[in-house]
Structure 1
Amino acid sequence: MSRKCLISAGQLFSLLLVSSLIIMVTTNSTWTGGGDFLDNIISCAIAFAVNFIAVIPLGVLYRKRPTMNILDHGYHLTGWFGTVIALFYGLYFLTIDCYYLSVFQVFNANMIEPEMPSWLIVIAVLIVAVYAAWKGMESISRTSVFILVMLLIGFLFILVTSIPQVKSENFKPLLYNGWNQTIQSTMLFLGRSTGLATLAILLPATKGNKKIGFTVWNVITYLLMSIIMVIMVGVLGNAIQTQMFPMHTLAAISGIGPFQRMDSIFLGIWLMGVFIKIAIDLYLFGSCMQRVFHIKRGGFFIIGGAMAVGIISVLITKSVALQHLFFDVYLLAPLTLFASFVIPLILLLIDTIKCKNKTIRRMEETLEVQHENSALD
């Protein structure tokens, strides 16, 4: 099917970079599986390499049919089962939003304003995100470029003002306690790396050099993550194990001259990142529901999806059992792996088998014609 280009490659990977930045601000020793925070640098490198491998099936499919996204390929190659694929992607994007919005509520309840009702934050974030998603991907992508500049300036300011407080004695040898933490933190980073699933739907609507954009996005993301890990360990030392949100702690104690307590910058970074992430995912959810129900516009599904995200995220913050379920790396990582790699790989295998069968049938038909001509001679 023909698809009009909506955004440039630069805009696409800018919004992916913005949504990736919230991976950094929500990382702690509990979720990474231990207190050897410096080992997360190795996890960053592994996740960086895995992303370049995982994108191969999607890249091959896109090269074969540049005007089709993963949903189009699902219907083209599997028929009615394409509806199941579209439904899975839609629910996946909502699940990710529930995860990030509930983490933000936990942060607010523990670090900012415990007395503030969590539903007030949810409503505020979702109203803005719904409006952005309703306006379309062009509006979201243009906004993301501006927000990306603001986020990078904010991160740079926090890191530069923290460097004088780095102490060499806070650094321990890598892999001092083995590979267990590295494995779990790698799963955490990959589980939160939803960019490939986003690419699976948005690639055909993007113009420009996507290979360079993909490379720059990954390099900046994981390089910045590694730098942040090093500075957090150098400044906080063993105290990092006791911090629910060590990046917030780093921002709170950083400062230079009249600029002190950069935690307000941290809060702004998180809010802008969550807004962009939820806006993108709500737009993609609406696109998936358009394919499921074969309708032209998915605006009402955007509103319905936002309501579901709001209700579920509030329930998560009020239930320890739900927090254990949704915050478990072994739930998020398999879902992301399936959306980013397994489904494109399965569709690529189906496509390859169908192409081979067509080739065999053509060869058989050619041989039959040759035999008939020989018999006539």
Structure 2
Amino acid sequence: MSRKCLISAGQLFSLLLVSSLIIMVTTNSTWTGGGDFLDNIISCAIAFAVNFIAVIPLGLLYRRKPTMNILDHGYHLTGWFGAVIALFYGLYFITIDCYYLSVFQVFNANMIEPEMPSWLIVIAVLVVAVYAAWKGVESISRTSVFILVMLLIGFLFILVTSIPQVKSENFKPLLYNGWDQTIQSTMLFLGRSTGLATLAILLPATKGNKKIGFTVWNVVTYLLMSIIMVIMVGVLGNAIQTQMFPIYTLAAISGIGPFQRMDSIFLGIWLMGVFIKIAIDLYLFGSCMQRVFHIKRGGFFIIGGAIAVGLISVLITKSVALQHLFFDVYLLAPLTLFASFVIPLILLLIDTIKCKNKTIRRMEETLEVQHENSALD
């Protein structure tokens, strides 16, 4: 089975960096389980290490059959159950998009324009994302490279203009109140680490040095997260516990000379990140549905997925109960762990067992032939 390389490793990991970085730094004391934000640096280090462990089953599957993605492995190794695996991944990407878009709507309603109807933002984002997904992964990945440059410049500008406001007295000892917050924030970061599931499908369609790309993606993501956490604590101090979106507050009060209130830059960064994330996930959802229903094009599923994301995300923002459900780290983290690690591990074990059985059968056949030949002699 051959698979055409559609994107470069640089484009793939630029896409993953853009789509993951913004949601990683958009957090608060409620989601992380406490106001000791410096402890989140330890969580970043743990999540960084776990990502390198979690990718091992996927990497071994790819090494054995470089032309097959996780959906191909599902059908090849489990037969009809491969459709269930493809359906799970498709629904997983839709669930993650609902999470991203609902967080953005909560952010807009509380920090930007409370009077603006949430469905206007949803329609605007989804229309552009559907168009990008319809054009394909090549277009999305090329766009992500340009957006990544703007995103890094924007973050750099916010951080540089915030450094003069850092106060040393705002820093507390690490783990001052124990490990509870560190554990929850680690679960939060791992739950938001959806890039491995994206890799599981796009890796065979990527050319270039994927190991370097994977390393750079993780190093930049978690290093930048840690730097942002340190500066947020240094600038905001204890007030960080009262902020719904501390990173936005940091952007709003940062400034140097004529450049004041960098919140508009952060809003632009947020919009670019959520657009890329939803676009690539809708594309992947369409690809999964193609495999489930054995059709050549998944365009109509892209539109259907976008409608589902729009409706569900609006419902989430209108319902406190749904927010508690979708924003719970103990829902998101197991789903991401299952998509990123458990399924590849199970498929790797099945493949290993089948390979061993084939080897045993070949040895038995060889011995049988040798026995027959010796009997004839």
**TM more than 0.5:** yes
> Which residue does 1:43 correspond to in 2?
43
The CA deviation at 1:365 is: 1.0
Contact map agreement 1:23 1:189 (CA 8 A) in 2 = no
Q: For 1:219-234, what aligned pairs fall within 5 Å after superposition?
A: 219-234=219-234
Q: For 1:89-238, what aligned pairs fall within 5 Å after superposition?
A: 89-238=89-238
- In structure 1, what is the Cα distance between the partners aligned to 2:72 and 2:332? 25
Contact map agreement 1:232 1:246 (CA 8 A) in 2 = yes
The CA deviation at 1:24 is: 3.3
Contact map agreement 1:25 1:248 (CA 8 A) in 2 = no
Q: Deviations over 1:235-289 (max 9, x none)?
A: 0000000000000000000000111010000100100000000001000000000
Q: Deviations over 1:300-326 (max 9, x none)?
A: 000000000000000000001100000
- In structure 2, what is the Cα distance between the partners aligned to 1:141 and 1:243? 34
The CA deviation at 1:216 is: 0.5
- In structure 2, what is the Cα distance between the partners aligned to 1:291 and 1:24? 31
Contact map agreement 1:90 1:288 (CA 8 A) in 2 = yes
The CA deviation at 1:371 is: 1.5
- In structure 1, what is the Cα distance between the partners aligned to 2:142 and 2:71? 25
Contact map agreement 1:159 1:228 (CA 8 A) in 2 = yes
What SS does the corresponding residue of 1:27 show, helix, strand or coil? Answer: coil
Contact map agreement 1:251 1:266 (CA 8 A) in 2 = yes
Deviates more, 1:5-14 or 1:361-370: 361-370
Contact map agreement 2:25 2:225 (CA 8 A) in 1 = no
The CA deviation at 1:25 is: 3.7
The CA deviation at 1:376 is: 1.7
Identity of matched residues, %:
97
The CA deviation at 1:366 is: 1.2
Contact map agreement 2:20 2:193 (CA 8 A) in 1 = yes
Contact map agreement 1:57 1:341 (CA 8 A) in 2 = yes
Q: Deviations over 1:126-145 (max 9, x none)?
A: 00000000000010001000
- In structure 1, what is the Cα distance between the partners aligned to 2:326 and 2:237? 29
> Which residue does 1:336 correspond to in 2?
336
Contact map agreement 1:25 1:270 (CA 8 A) in 2 = no
- In structure 1, what is the Cα distance between the partners aligned to 2:364 and 2:15? 50
Contact map agreement 1:39 1:182 (CA 8 A) in 2 = yes
The CA deviation at 1:91 is: 0.2
The CA deviation at 1:23 is: 2.3
- In structure 2, what is the Cα distance between the partners aligned to 1:160 and 1:182? 27
- In structure 2, what is the Cα distance between the partners aligned to 1:373 and 1:305? 62
- In structure 2, what is the Cα distance between the partners aligned to 1:255 and 1:371? 84
The CA deviation at 1:375 is: 1.7
Q: Deviations over 1:328-350 (max 9, x none)?
A: 00000000000000000000000
How many residue pairs were aligned? 377
> Which residue does 1:2 correspond to in 2?
2
What SS does the corresponding residue of 2:38 show, helix, strand or coil? Answer: helix
- In structure 2, what is the Cα distance between the partners aligned to 1:335 and 1:327? 13
Structure 2 gaps of 5+ residues are none
What SS does the corresponding residue of 1:115 show, helix, strand or coil? Answer: coil
Q: Deviations over 1:180-235 (max 9, x none)?
A: 10010000000001000000000010000000000000000000000000000000
What SS does the corresponding residue of 2:340 show, helix, strand or coil? Answer: helix
What SS does the corresponding residue of 1:84 show, helix, strand or coil? Answer: helix
Contact map agreement 1:25 1:245 (CA 8 A) in 2 = no
- In structure 2, what is the Cα distance between the partners aligned to 1:14 and 1:171? 33
- Change in 2 beyond 3 A, CA 1:25/1:46: closer
Q: Deviations over 1:95-121 (max 9, x none)?
A: 000001001111111111111100000
- In structure 2, what is the Cα distance between the partners aligned to 1:128 and 1:25? 24
What SS does the corresponding residue of 1:174 show, helix, strand or coil? Answer: coil
Q: Deviations over 1:25-70 (max 9, x none)?
A: 4211110000110000000000000000000000000011100000
- In structure 2, what is the Cα distance between the partners aligned to 1:366 and 1:256? 78
The CA deviation at 1:21 is: 1.3
- In structure 1, what is the Cα distance between the partners aligned to 2:230 and 2:200? 32
Structure 1 segments (4+ residues) deviating >4 Å: none
> Which residue does 1:29 correspond to in 2?
29
The CA deviation at 1:368 is: 1.2
The CA deviation at 1:373 is: 1.6
RMSD: 0.6
What SS does the corresponding residue of 1:37 show, helix, strand or coil? Answer: coil
> Which residue does 1:298 correspond to in 2?
298
- In structure 1, what is the Cα distance between the partners aligned to 2:190 and 2:129? 24
Contact map agreement 2:25 2:228 (CA 8 A) in 1 = no
The CA deviation at 1:369 is: 1.3
Contact map agreement 2:23 2:100 (CA 8 A) in 1 = no
- In structure 2, what is the Cα distance between the partners aligned to 1:226 and 1:23? 14
- In structure 2, what is the Cα distance between the partners aligned to 1:15 and 1:364? 49
* TM-score, normalised via structure 2 length: 0.99
- In structure 2, what is the Cα distance between the partners aligned to 1:26 and 1:155? 13
- In structure 1, what is the Cα distance between the partners aligned to 2:24 and 2:362? 53
Deviates more, 1:324-333 or 1:23-32: 23-32
